[in-house]
Amino acid sequence: RHNLHALRVLAASGRTARAILRSFRPDLVVGTGGYASYPVVSQAARQGIPTAIHESNASPGLTTRTLAKYVDLVMVGFEESRKHYPHPERVVVTGTPVRGDFFLQTKAEARQKLGFTDDKPVVVTSWGSLGALVMNQHMVDFVARECREGQPFHHIYGVGQRYYSRVLEALKERGIDLADYPDVDVREYIYDMPLVMAAADLVICRAGAITLTEIQAQGKASLLIPSPNVAENHQYHNAMVLADKDAAIVIEEKDLTGQLLCDKVEELIATPGRLKKLGDNAQSMA
């Protein structure tokens, strides 16, 4: 039923888009990927209205690939994206905008605001607003080992709404009462990410284009586990743009275990020079 409805809407979208364009009379139409961009941008191009699209991901999606044949300008987040488009002369590398909140405080200021008065490293892990089942299963192992080993770093862990209570229950089953481990901050969601990321020595997360742009802007070392559940595996391609420039470590979810995650983080935390190198290389791409 949903798919049939989508087909009906698609059939009507061109007519609706033409009516919007006649009414609004834009000077420029810009699409930012996603299927909703297609009817308006394509109709604008047919009417001779200047058009542009912006694609944050390294590998363009279906809508972007289709519109790239018609628009006047294609703006991309990565230089490596240029090869994917039929008219490279129309492609401009603009990067992706980062909101100003990510530039408001230094690392030292952020640590102070978060109440970190010692010199322990800060690790940030985040799995989106809803969370990721497989990653949160691994994270239970990760947090349990971290607690057993005396909290060698400050850890701010954004679980995601869908799995938050499940993670807390799993930790309790391991005999871990988070009240006894003040350096482990398990949250349903990290609402103050600009502050938290500013304080971080290492960020462990998925590889969405916006997240990677923020990591680059702040010059942070990152361990990326791309989501395998996205169109055309685009997060993997995003992550590999950084990995190929030694600006991030990438592990695919199918290869990950809780033990491997623990070992890799311990290895990175033990080599501050390596963390700095990853962060510097990331910032050079911003």
Integer Cα distance of 228 and 185 in angstroms? 27
Cα gap 253→260, rounded to integer Å: 11
- Contact in structure between 211 and 226 (CB atoms under 8 Å): no
Q: Cα–Cα distances in Å, from 200 out to 75, 109, 116, 174, 275? A: 30, 12, 11, 27, 11
Listed residue (202, 206, 204) closest to 233, CA to CA: 206
Report the relative pairing of strands 154-158 and 122-126 from DSSP bridges: parallel
CA distance 177 to 28: 56
Give the C-alpha separation, 142 to 133, whole Å. 14
Residue 218 — φ and ψ, nearest 5°? Answer: -90, -5
> Looking at residue 88, what is its pLDDT?
87
Residue-level pLDDT at 160: 96
* Total count of residues recorded for the chain: 286
SS3 for 157?
strand
What tens-digit pLDDT sequence spans the chain (286 residues)? 988 998 898 889 999 999 999 999 999 999 998 888 999 999 999 999 999 999 999 999 889 999 999 999 999 999 999 999 988 889 999 999 999 999 999 999 999 999 999 999 999 999 999 999 999 999 999 999 999 999 999 999 999 999 999 999 999 999 999 999 999 999 999 999 999 999 999 999 999 999 999 999 999 999 999 999 998 899 999 999 999 999 999 999 999 999 999 999 999 999 999 999 999 999 999 9
Residue 73 phi/psi, 5° resolution?
-145, 135
Question: Which amino acid makes up residue 167?
Answer: V
Task: Map residue 96 onto helix, strand or coil.
Answer: coil
CB proximity list for 241: less than 8 A, separation 6 or greater? 58, 78, 80, 212, 285
Residues near 142 by Cβ (< 8 Å), separated by ≥ 6? 125, 258, 261, 262, 265
User: pTM higher than 0.85, yes or no?
Assistant: yes
Please name the residues in contact with 245: beta carbons below 8 A apart, sequence gap of 6 or more: 281, 284, 285
Tokens of 134: 């497989």
